[in-house]
Chains A and B, each alone.
Chain A
Amino acid sequence: EPEVTQTPSHQVTQMGQEVILRCVPISNHLYFYWYRQILGQKVEFLVSFYNNEISEKSEIFDDQFSVERPDGSNFTLKIRSTKLEDSAMYFCASSEDRGEQYFGPGTRLTVT
């Protein structure tokens, strides 16, 4: 069964460093999303992406965040200058037709 994959599974970085989280959405899906989940809290929307551009973003998704689809299979989230409060699980999701969203296993980001 097709699934969303994410790498790395765990990323440790120092405050102020740049990180890139990578996702491979399900192959025939056209809509891509990033969400995050701070430990013990609910899942929060960051950004959605369609047709090579951002279609919606939340107030969390400020100028330090960016997304890119560098090729036909990868979807990346870049955090330019990480802060302690960026520590969270980051989930990529994809959808075929803006219906069901399927989530990847997540990347645990730890900022020290």
Chain B
Amino acid sequence: GAGVSQSPSNKVTEKGKDVELRCDPISGHTALYWYRQRLGQGLEFLIYFQGNSAPDKSGLPSDRFSAERTGESVSTLTIQRTQQEDSAVYLCASSYRGLGAGEQYFGPGTRLTVT
């Protein structure tokens, strides 16, 4: 079946511009996560959506970052006034259940480069 998809696969933007990254989770997965991986570092949690509950935004690095999710489907991660330190691979993952075991299925990521 279809896995997690993300678009665009690559995005180059100028410092100060806003960007929007999209994630389509696996159908039926109630939980959705955003992570990022900066060069030479591990994956860093950003935000978590579970059903209709309020999202866990504890990993967002600044108020320039925000994310939305429509029901249990598509999510968009928005970065306003991008900075060079925002350059990273942004990964989306989904899972059938949120609380409990953490088998999360990842998309291929969006590589963001801020020039």
Q: Do A and B bind each other?
A: no
Report which A residues bind B (CB closer than 8 A): none
